[in-house]
């Protein structure tokens, strides 16, 4: 396996916001080396983290991220503990900080954490010596999702710089959009955010002056290299901001009629889980432009890279 020779300068992966272009490229290049490990039937598992204990601490449901992290950890030979929030002492009223300090007392090396409260992983990082990997915090950040999205785009187009990317749909509730905005703008892509006005908070225009905002999906589609569709997050209240799912689909669903207007080689991405027939139709999600399952495959080497770089980072790594 080729090693990228890159040293990650942080003790935790809290978000994309704190990363430089060099950090992002270092992670993606290391992931490329690990992709070769995953694809080689004679290798598949390497001893890189065999002395490390990793706790997967998921307070929110997950299919892709949790299993992808666990497979990445096992491919690196880490010792894996899966914390089950439903059967933990949280149900007896234990606080997040008490949970953190009690986990720390058992000296894990890394904690991969998903929580519905924005910033919960930062609180955790303040109370433990273990490296924290943010696996999604409320509507704030989902850094490994943005990294695997970038990896997938770079794999298809050979670059991120200059790519035209539309991120479409439930901008208001999405942590995926925030991590992708940080990452793609740092790496020189141009971003157009598309959705109904009710799902695009006005303050985002101040935070992201370089992003273009549009309410007209049909006008945007022909110009884009990448159409990244977001899940309507009904569990976070999206239904209150749209008149009906049918009306939403009429203006913002990616369907075959809209794909007719797209560039021939436009890439369709979606972080999953998909609301089939709402933000995207099955014909497009399962069609020839879709890289949705490729995103899932790429999640494993990308997460291997993050865990490996954190475990082998310099002793003076910053928080």
> For residues 39, 45, 49 and 51, what is the CA-based torsion angle, rounded to 10 degrees?
180
Using the minimum distance from each CB to ligand CP, give the nearer residue, 12 or 66: 66
Using the minimum distance from each CB to ligand CP, give the nearer residue, 35 or 141: 141
For the bound state, the minimum distance from the C-beta of residue 272 to ligand CP, rounded and expressed in Å, comes to 5
Find, among 21, 46, 49, the residue nearest to 34 by Cα: 46
Using the minimum distance from each CB to ligand CP, give the nearer residue, 190 or 290: 290
Sign of the torsion formed by the C-alpha atoms of 125, 131, 134 and 140: positive
Helix (H) or strand (E) holding 53: strand 53-58
For the bound state, the minimum distance from the C-beta of residue 186 to ligand CP, rounded and expressed in Å, comes to 21
Site residues for ligand CP per CB under 6 A: 62-65, 136, 145, 271-273
Helix (H) or strand (E) holding 101: helix 96-104
For the bound state, the minimum distance from the C-beta of residue 121 to ligand CP, rounded and expressed in Å, comes to 14
For the bound state, the minimum distance from the C-beta of residue 145 to ligand CP, rounded and expressed in Å, comes to 5
Do residues 199 and 252 touch, judged by C-beta distance below 8 A?
no
Do residues 132 and 111 touch, judged by C-beta distance below 8 A?
yes
Using the minimum distance from each CB to ligand CP, give the nearer residue, 67 or 77: 67
Q: What are phi and psi of 128, to 5 degrees?
A: -135, 155
Q: What are the tokens at 162?
A: 């200059």
Using the minimum distance from each CB to ligand CP, give the nearer residue, 220 or 267: 267
For the bound state, the minimum distance from the C-beta of residue 2 to ligand CP, rounded and expressed in Å, comes to 28
């Amino acid at each position: 396996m080729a090693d990228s020779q890159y040293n990650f300068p942080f003790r935790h992966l809290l978000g994309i916001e704190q990363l430089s272009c060099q950090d992002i490229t270092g992670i993606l290049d290391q992931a490329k080396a690990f992709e070769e490990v995953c694809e080689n039937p004679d290798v598949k598992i390497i001893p890189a983290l065999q002395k490390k204990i990793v706790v997967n601490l998921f307070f929110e449901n997950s299919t892709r991220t949790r299993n992808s992290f666990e497979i990445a950890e096992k491919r690196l030979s880490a010792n894996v503990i899966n914390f089950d929030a439903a059967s933990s002492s949280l149900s007896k009223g234990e606080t997040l900080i008490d949970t953190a300090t009690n986990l720390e007392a058992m000296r894990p090396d890394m904690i991969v954490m998903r929580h519905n409260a924005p910033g919960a992983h930062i609180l955790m990082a303040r109370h433990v010596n273990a490296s924290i990997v943010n696996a999604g915090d409320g509507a704030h950040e989902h850094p490994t999702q943005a990294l695997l999205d970038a990896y997938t785009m770079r794999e298809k187009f050979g670059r991120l710089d200059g790519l035209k990317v539309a991120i479409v749909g439930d901008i208001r509730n999405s942590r995926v959009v925030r991590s992708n905005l940080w990452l793609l703008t740092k790496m020189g892509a141009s971003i157009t955010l598309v959705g109904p006005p009710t799902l695009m908070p006005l303050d985002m225009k101040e935070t992201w002056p370089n992003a273009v905002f549009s309410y007209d999906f049909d006008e945007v589609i022909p110009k884009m290299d990448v159409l990244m569709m977001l899940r309507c997050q009904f569990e976070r209240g999206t239904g209150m901001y749209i008149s009906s799912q049918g009306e939403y689909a009429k203006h913002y669903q990616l369907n075959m009629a809209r794909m007719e207007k797209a560039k021939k080689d436009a890439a369709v991405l979606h972080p999953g889980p998909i609301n089939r027939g709402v933000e995207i139709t099955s014909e497009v999600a399962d069609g020839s432009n879709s890289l949705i399952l490729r995103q899932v495959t790429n999640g494993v080497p990308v997460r291997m890279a993050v865990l490996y770089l954190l475990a082998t980072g310099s002793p003076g790594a910053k928080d």
